[in-house]
Structure 1
Amino acid sequence: MCFKKNWFFVNYYLALILIGSQLWSNTVCQRSSGYRISTNSSVRVQRGLCVHVPCSFSVPSNVQLSIRTIGIWYILRDGYFHPWVSKTNIEHRTNGRFFMTGNVASGDCSYYIEDPLPEDEAIYVFRFDDVHVRFTYVSIQPSVSVTELTDKPTISSTRLVNGEEVTFTCTSPGRCWNIMPNILWEVNMTGISLKTYNITYEDGSRTFHSNITFTPRKSDNKALLFCRVTLKDDLTTVEKQTLNVEYSPSINITIEGVDPDDASTVTVKDGDSLTLKCIVDSNPNASITWRKDGKVLPQTVSDQIVILELINLAVSDVGRFQCSATNEHGVTLRTVEVIHHGTQLQFTTVMAAAVGGAILLVLIIVITALLLMSFRKKRQQHINEKLKDKSNNDTEDIYCYPDFTIHNVISPEETIQKELQSSAGDDSVYMNPDDVQYSSIAFSKLKPKIFVNEDVEMEYSEIKKTQY
């Protein structure tokens, strides 16, 4: 094995001597001063991506490179160096993966490798060739290695708050010329919007980006967000981010031996003990405190759970216990009412008496109102009957009362006839005796009796009886 390794190096140096005999004839010797090269001695490039390697070379002061100067990168294959890529100010020859990017006449030997293949992994040597001078730089021989794709996309970092819209940006790895990746977001969320764009730089390289906009919720906390980038030849790289959604505290109170749905009120007797747990869910962590009547109580804190121990309770120990949780997004309060059994019985008795008294008072008021209504109704009926009787009596008094008879009464027809005869000599208007005008009189109340002197002459009209 050692022999084979040594034999490789022997062939390598023999190849260099051969190159020197074939390519360096009529050129300045390698050891001549002024010929220098500066570049990376080792280059790594990932499959599907690219790498740009800066390189510069110099010549002695008495050598002037022309615009026809050719820059050539050679690759070592099978113990020999073969031309791999070349460039002048006019012409550029490449295999589609290895490019020269600099101006050779200005001493720029920079190169660019994109989406390499395993066969591009080798040792390289640079040489320039001008009309009157040629030189190969062997002091630095870059070693190019092709590796598997390991770079991942980058996801921008931003603060997430419950209910506030945010935008994440995923940037594809690499800054290449001809590679156009496909960027895909993977997230279990609704109501998202996407935007993809790229940025082109002065050297022609580009970077690709994709934005995702959404409104995070409390339920999205600790959810995973994936950005998947697919390059050439179906090479894929993925980056993920765990969402850290901040939200205000929520409280759940549990009491040992008590149904969680009834934890707002608990009844105790003398000597009882209670364990109250205030369990808080918040991000970031909240400051949690148990209080009674505004006074902070001794408590035990463990991972956002605050435990309050109430031992050997008496009447003086009961009351309203409040758990408060506070962080930068809000404050939440929950209360537990601890009632002593004796106090509860007394309160129940008082309440029962009060309720019974209120019901009795309402019944008395209702019965009194019904009695008053009934009395008023009967009284009104009695008054109406009396008024009806009086009306009938008034009418009978007018027609039937003996003392109200008037003698020697002239009828209305005779009175009219006499008036017509007395006015016959005048130019008075003739009136038909049949055109008698009538009027009616209604009596609603009892009138006093009227006594008329028999010597008085009176005119009468017809009197009609009307019902009251």
Structure 2
Amino acid sequence: MWVLISAALLLSLTERSTCDTLAAPPKASPWTITFSPAEITAEKGLCAVISCTFTHPDNIKPTAAIWFKCPASGKCDQDKNIMFHSETPSKAQKGYKQRVSLLETDLTKKNCSVIINDIRENDAGEYQFRLHSLYTYPKKVNIAVSALTQKPSVLTPALTEGEPATLTCTAPGMCSGTPPNITWRWRGTGDNITELRDNITIQERENLTTMTTTHFSTLTFTPSAEHHNMMVTCQVTFQKNFQIEETVTLNVTYVKDPQITGNEMVKEDGTLDLTCSVDSYPPSDITWSKNGTSAPLQNYTENATLTISNVTREHSGEYVCTVQHLNRTMTASTVVTVMYLPVILPGSGCVDQAEVMTCVCVSQGVPSPLIVWPLLELNTERCSLTTSVLGSSVYSTISVPVGNHNNTTVECVSRNVVGVVREKLQVTQNKSQEKQRGCGNAVLPWTIAGVSLSVTVALLIYLSKNAYIRMQGMNVKPKEEESTYISLDKKYTSQEEYEVIARRPR
């Protein structure tokens, strides 16, 4: 019985001992390595960072870090496969020399991270780390190499015409390898400028896991309206083989002086078309107004067309185009003239006295009409013709000797570009005055527009002589002709007095 009990106790102790042995955790290895990430993808021409940390026994002091590039087959940790040796750099393979460096040179910090610059296609594969000649960590990290797809970054500030600005192109990768070549190109309307500037600046940033270098180029210029909508390309070349570029379109704030086009002369009952154009960015607000009052059109494009149908004489005047571009206001104006057919005004007529007939014809129209006298064609012996313009009215006076006034018909013909009007003038006989031969003094009994014709004619005679000569087909300057005038009012008795009057503003 005691034998059975002893056997049972022994079996129980044996099973407990076995359970205690299985439950004990395994002893951790002092040699560990951690990669973050375990798989790395790098683009050609840029760089790859193998980020890793390691552990080792406390009684070990690391003195050298060795990295191997594993072959497709065979052992990795062999001298012929060394791609980096911190203690003896000459042991590294030729293709890796000066391309690989530790991010932390103090190995006591247990950081084994390395950066491989100027990545090539044959850099793809597995890599293994060894701490001096003590221990090769079995865990490996893999690098995959892909085509260069990253693009440079082009920073474009706000551009205003006439204000210097700087464009900045930053190369991708931020690696400390061979500096890339950065060039600028304009591309406008048919214009190509291959290289403008290659001004590379390097900035370095450093922390525990990475040390990167930024390569960028600046282009400084003074923008103008011609630069608006131009395309600027920044091209970055790595290792003379891998090229990437980025193109941006420039937006330049500018405004040109407004321009008004259209016919400023329009016939009555016609159509007025005026267009105000302004070249600007962003587009300007355009407002039309007439004589300081609001006109019927307000347009918010770069071309504002003002159209008025069936124009009347009241549409004549100054039209103002106001352009509002951001905080700047500009104006342009034009004067519109409405043309209409001449009208022979009441008060036109003739006086016959002492065998001298004096006739006055007053016509109004736009443009100023020309007045001709068919009577002059019948009388070779003429005395005088005077013409004067006052606003839209034309005053014309003739004085001719007539023998038999009963058979004389006097017609005034007035014309401009719109048309021609004719009117036969009434002849009034004045027998109360003393008869005189040829040209002489005469007083007209009516007034025109509130001004005595006798005075008006006297004021106009000297001014009209040259116009009369031109009408007869002659080309004689006033200073070369003999001064001819008649006095219809004894108040003016000399040529000097006429000249003074003629110089007064009309």
Asked if Structure 1 and Structure 2 have the same fold, meaning a TM-score greater than 0.5 normalized by the shorter chain, the answer is yes
Are the structure 2 counterparts of residues 70 and 115 from structure 1 closer, same or farther at C-alpha, using a change threshold of 3 Å? closer
Report how far residue 183 of structure 1 moved: 2.5
Show the 5 A alignment for 1:286-435: 286-299=284-297, 301=299, 303-328=301-326, 330-342=328-340, 345=365, 348=368, 350-351=390-391, 352-353=394-395, 356=460, 359=463, 368=495
Give the superposed CA RMSD.
4.0
**Identity of aligned pairs, percent?**
22
Moved more, 320-329 or 72-81: 72-81
The residue number in structure 2 matching 1:147 is 146
Is the counterpart of residue 46 in structure 1 residue 43 in structure 2? Answer: yes
Moved more, 221-230 or 90-99: 90-99
Alpha-carbon distance in 2 for matches of 1:69, 1:90: 5
Equivalenced residues, count: 326
The residue number in structure 1 matching 2:233 is 226
Structure 2, unmatched stretches of 5+, are 1-25, 342-363, 370-389, 396-455, 466-477, 486-491, 498-506
Structure 1, unmatched stretches of 5+, are 1-28, 256-262, 371-468
Pairing partner for 1:67 from 62, 65, 84? 62
The residue number in structure 2 matching 1:253 is 260
The residue number in structure 2 matching 1:379 is none
Alpha-carbon distance in 1 for matches of 2:132, 2:38: 22
Which structure: greater strand fraction? 2
Alpha-carbon distance in 1 for matches of 2:192, 2:221: 8
Asked if structure 2 preserves the Cα contact closer than 8 Å seen for 1:85 and 1:98, the reply is no
Which letter does structure 1 place at the counterpart of 2:62? I
1:18-67 per-residue CA deviation (whole Å, 9 max, x = no partner) reads: xxxxxxxxxxx9964894514112322222222334322345xx634413
What is the DSSP-based 3-state SS (H/G/I as helix, E as strand, rest coil) of the residue aligned with 1:109?
coil
Is the counterpart of residue 114 in structure 1 residue 138 in structure 2? Answer: no
Alpha-carbon distance in 2 for matches of 1:106, 1:281: 65
Q: TM-score, normalised by structure 2?
A: 0.54
Asked if structure 2 preserves the Cα contact closer than 8 Å seen for 1:248 and 1:330, the reply is no
Are the structure 2 counterparts of residues 360 and 305 from structure 1 closer, same or farther at C-alpha, using a change threshold of 3 Å? closer
Alpha-carbon distance in 1 for matches of 2:463, 2:87: 111
Moved more, 289-298 or 94-103: 94-103
The residue number in structure 2 matching 1:273 is 271
The residue number in structure 2 matching 1:136 is 137
The residue number in structure 2 matching 1:217 is 224
Report how far residue 87 of structure 1 moved: 5.8
The residue number in structure 2 matching 1:184 is 183
1:110-159 per-residue CA deviation (whole Å, 9 max, x = no partner) reads: 1212222222212344454664xx46363xx5431212222333333122
Are the structure 2 counterparts of residues 125 and 116 from structure 1 closer, same or farther at C-alpha, using a change threshold of 3 Å? same
Asked if structure 2 preserves the Cα contact closer than 8 Å seen for 1:114 and 1:176, the reply is yes
Are the structure 2 counterparts of residues 211 and 74 from structure 1 closer, same or farther at C-alpha, using a change threshold of 3 Å? closer
Alpha-carbon distance in 2 for matches of 1:89, 1:126: 12
Which letter does structure 2 place at the counterpart of 1:307? T
The residue number in structure 2 matching 1:283 is 281
Are the structure 2 counterparts of residues 170 and 280 from structure 1 closer, same or farther at C-alpha, using a change threshold of 3 Å? same
Asked if structure 2 preserves the Cα contact closer than 8 Å seen for 1:300 and 1:306, the reply is yes
1:379-435 per-residue CA deviation (whole Å, 9 max, x = no partner) reads: xxxxxxxxxxxxxxxxxxxxxxxxxxxxxxxxxxxxxxxxxxxxxxxxxxxxxxxxx
What is the DSSP-based 3-state SS (H/G/I as helix, E as strand, rest coil) of the residue aligned with 2:112?
coil
The residue number in structure 1 matching 2:52 is 55
Which letter does structure 2 place at the counterpart of 1:239? E
Asked if structure 2 preserves the Cα contact closer than 8 Å seen for 1:290 and 1:324, the reply is yes
Are the structure 2 counterparts of residues 85 and 35 from structure 1 closer, same or farther at C-alpha, using a change threshold of 3 Å? same
What is the DSSP-based 3-state SS (H/G/I as helix, E as strand, rest coil) of the residue aligned with 1:146?
strand
The residue number in structure 1 matching 2:407 is none
Q: TM-score, normalised by structure 1?
A: 0.58
The residue number in structure 1 matching 2:103 is 101
Report how far residue 108 of structure 1 moved: 0.6
Show the 5 A alignment for 1:4-43: 32=29, 35=32, 37-43=34-40
The residue number in structure 1 matching 2:245 is 238
Which structure: greater helix fraction? 1
